[in-house]
Amino acid sequence: MFPRRALPALAAFVVAALVSACGGTRPEAPPEAPVTPLPPARVDPVVPPVRIGLALGGGAAKGFAHIGVIKMLEANGFKPDVVAGTSAGSVVGALYASGMDPFQLQEKAVALDEASIRDVRLFAGGLVQGLKLQDYVNEQVGKRPIERMPRPFAAVATRLETGERTVFVRGNAGQAVRASSSVPGVFEPVTIGSWQYVDGGVVSPVPVDAARELGADFVIAVDISSKARGKRPDGMLGIVNQSIAIMGQRLGEQELARADVVIRPNVLDYGSADFTRRNQAILEGEKAALAALPQIRAQLEQLQAQRLAAAREQQARLAAQREAALVPPPKPACEDEGSRWNPLRRKDAACGASN
C-alpha cells in the first residue's frame, strides 16, 4: 500500500500521463490536391444586327408588285430597316416608311382610284401636273416630312438642268415622291427651290446606292423596270417608260450589281398604265420574294458570321494588348547585384560589356 501522503503525487502523475496521451502528435491529414481554376468562360462580343435596306425600282403601275415583296419578306421575319424608292417605288416606299404594314398597303392599293392621282393639264400639252399625286401621298403619310418617318426613307429623282441624281431624305414627302415619279413627257417637271426635277429612273432605276447611303448593310433590290425585249410597248406611257429603261439600262445593271439580292417579279408584260392588274402584280411580287428567301437567309447568315468573326478577332487583339500592359518589363542584367561581382559566380557577360 502506498502511504497516504503519496496519493496526491500519484494522482498528479496519472493526470499528467492521460493529458500526455491525449495531446500526442496526431497523424497529419494528407495535403489537399491543388485546385486548378477553370479558365474564364468565353463570352462572344455583342454584334449589332444587320441593317436591311429595301431598294424599290420604278415601273409605273407595275409598282404594285413591291407590296407583294414586302408582304412576303415581313411574313418570313425579314423586316427592312430602311427603304429607298424610285418613281413608283418611291410611292410604295413612302407609305411603307410612314408606318403602314403590308396589309394596309394592299388595302390602299385595292382602293386606289387612278383619277385621284392623275391631274391632266390640257394647256400644258396634256401633261400630268402631279399635284394630285403629291397631295395623295402627303395625306397617306399624315402630312409628315420625310425626316419624321418611323423608318428612314429616300426618294430618288433626277435634276433636269444637270442630270445629277438627287436623293431626298428631308422635307415634303409628297413633293419628293412627285419629283421622283415625274416621267419626262408625261408629267410636268417639279420645281423645288431653284431646280427642276424629273423621274429618278433616268439615272437610278433601282436605288441600291441610296439604300446604302441610308445605312443599310444588306440591300434587297426589287427590279420591275421595262426591258427592251423586241416587243412593242402599249400606249404613250409604255413607250416613254421603255425609252427611259433603255437609257438607264446600263446604269441600272451597274447599280443592281451592288445589291446583295435582286428580286424580279414577273410583271414585264404588264402595261405601265394598267391599274386593273394590281392584284396579279401583288401576287407576282409575293411569288418572286418567296423564291428569293433561301438566298436572302443564307447571305444574311454568312454576313452575320463574318461580322462575329471580325468582332472576335478584335476582342482577342484587345485582350492580348491588355495582358501585355500588365506584365512588367524585365530588369536589365546589371541591376542584379548578385550577377555582377559575386565571388562565387563568374562575372555576368552583359554587365561586363556595359561596364
Residue 275 lies in a domain: yes
Residue 93 lies in a domain: yes
Residue 22 lies in a domain: no
Residue 105 lies in a domain: yes
Percentage of the chain modeled with pLDDT above 90: 53
Q: Is 199 a catalytic residue?
A: yes
Q: How far apart are CA 126 and CA 187, in angstroms?
A: 9
- When the pLDDT of each residue in the chain is averaged and rounded to a whole number, the result is 84
The beta-strand segments (E) located in 160-248 are: 165-168, 190-192, 195-199, 218-222
pLDDT reading at 230 higher than 50: yes
Residue 217 lies in a domain: yes
Domain count, the chain: 1
Residue 341 lies in a domain: no
Catalytic residue among 81, 87, 98, 182: 87
Q: What pLDDT score does 354 carry?
A: 47
Name the 3-class secondary structure at 130. coil
Quote the domain boundaries for residue 183: 52-307
Catalytic residue among 199, 223, 260, 274: 199
Per-residue pLDDT of 62-117, as tens digits, reads 999 999 999 999 999 999 999 999 999 999 999 999 999 999 999 999 899 888 88
Residue 319 lies in a domain: no
Residue 102 lies in a domain: yes
CATH code, domain carrying 245: 3.40.1090.10
Q: What pLDDT score does 262 carry?
A: 98
340 Cβ neighbours under 8 A, 6+ residues apart: 334, 347, 348, 351
Region 30-43: mean pLDDT is 62
Q: What pLDDT score does 167 carry?
A: 98
Q: Is 339 a catalytic residue?
A: no
The beta-strand segments (E) located in 132-203 are: 153-159, 165-168, 190-192, 195-199
Grid cell for residue 30:
494528407
